[in-house]
Structure 1
Amino acid sequence: MDTRDRDNDCPFDAEAIRSSEFAGTDHFAAIYNVAPIVPGHSLVVPREHLTSLLDLDPSRQAGFFGFARHVTRFLLAEFSATGFDWIIQDGQDAGQTVCHLHLHVIPRWKGDLPEPGDWYTRLRLPLGETGNGPVDSRARTRLSEEKLQTVVTTLAGRIRAWAS
């Protein structure tokens, strides 16, 4: 399948992400993770269905990472975070479970894990061993639709105010 074709089952295609989108451009969207690992855990996704970062047109790469930088700065301020992780799992062997390019933006705080680098070793541990499970695990606790909408509406209003 051409990775640029729309995948009707993709949870990140336009219609599917509207309810969790809190910021966007013509080409990219920031969505709140329906099963966040920590408060603020969000995703930056292209609106075009692309499977891999390598499929992103070079003319759009600066826009993707520029938008991700903008979203990250906002999340750092909004959640009083002191650091962040950016994670792209590109390909099944890298742990990608949703075949649509997405960048995890995960706010971090001092002491949120026993060691700052422990994040990486926890990516593949089963749910019971970390309390959270793998980054893209469908087994993680999902926010209720009501809670998700409350968070998204709040973030959407605050990022508009923050950006102006």
Structure 2
Amino acid sequence: MAAEDPGFYMFGPYQVYKEEVFYTTDLCFVMVNLRPVLPGHVLVCPKRIVKRFTDLTPEEVSDIWLTAHKVADKLELHYKGTSLTFTIQDGPEAGQSVPHVHVHIVPRKKGDFENNDEIYDAIDENETKLKKKLDLDKNRRDRSLEERTQEADELRALFI
């Protein structure tokens, strides 16, 4: 007998509703971001809860990066980007706020940050100095489930 589908994925200790997920494989899922740094900022995560990158199986590593490759191409076109940022924060000292491996993919455009590398600090929510500088508390907020679902629906259509 098959296990009952709970209607969500686990992202560390957090439940991510399937409505927020727009692409899946056997080993990973891609979700819209609760607090995106820029439009189109998404996360690629293994379905298995794994805290550190080196604890992934070779199959998971391959699947996550192949998925990131496929998703990034469509994101860049959809958001009319000219570049992409890929980043992983592997462990708390690296700024990882959720103990679950995840790859950030962010479509980029010229001038989206005054200094290009500020995006890494913006992704790291522990950088309070930068929060004041960029006023992320004002510009970067938790989005509602409805907002996240709407974006996921829009992105899901890119893969049909």
**2:12/2:99 contact within 8 Å kept:** no
**1:17/1:31 contact within 8 Å kept:** no
Match of 1:128 in 2: 132
Superposition CA RMSD, Å: 2.3
Distance in structure 1 (CA, Å) of the matches to 2:95 and 2:157? 33
Structure 1: any 5+ residue segments left out of the alignment? Answer: 1-6, 134-138
**2:45/2:101 contact within 8 Å kept:** yes
Residues 17-54 of structure 1: CA deviation (Å, up to 9, x unaligned): 42310111111111000111110000000001101110
Q: After the TM superposition, which of the residue ranges 121-130 and 21-30 deviates more from structure 2? A: 121-130
- Normalised to the residue count of structure 1, the TM-score between the two structures is 0.80
Distance in structure 2 (CA, Å) of the matches to 1:8 and 1:154? 22
Match of 2:159 in 1: 159
User: What's the offset of the Cα at 1:84?
Assistant: 1.1
Q: After the TM superposition, which of the residue ranges 149-158 and 44-53 deviates more from structure 2? A: 149-158
Which amino acid in 2 is paired with 1:146? E
User: 2:19 aligned with 1:10, yes or no?
Assistant: no
**1:42/1:106 contact within 8 Å kept:** yes
Distance in structure 2 (CA, Å) of the matches to 1:150 and 1:45? 20
- Write the mapping of 1:65-76 to structure 2, written as runs, cut at 5 A: 65-76=65-76
**2:83/2:109 contact within 8 Å kept:** yes
How many residue pairs get aligned? The number is: 147
Evaluate the alpha carbon distance shift between residue 58 and residue 9 of structure 1 in structure 2; reply closer, same or farther with a 3 A threshold: closer
Residues 75-108 of structure 1: CA deviation (Å, up to 9, x unaligned): 1011011111111101110011100000110111
Match of 1:55 in 2: 55
Match of 1:107 in 2: 107
Distance in structure 1 (CA, Å) of the matches to 2:65 and 2:58? 11
Distance in structure 1 (CA, Å) of the matches to 2:76 and 2:149? 20
Which amino acid in 2 is paired with 1:10? P
Judging by fraction of residues, say which structure has more strand.
2
**2:11/2:100 contact within 8 Å kept:** no
- Normalised to the residue count of structure 2, the TM-score between the two structures is 0.82
Distance in structure 2 (CA, Å) of the matches to 1:72 and 1:9? 23
Structure 2: any 5+ residue segments left out of the alignment? Answer: 1-9
Q: Percentage identity across aligned positions?
A: 27
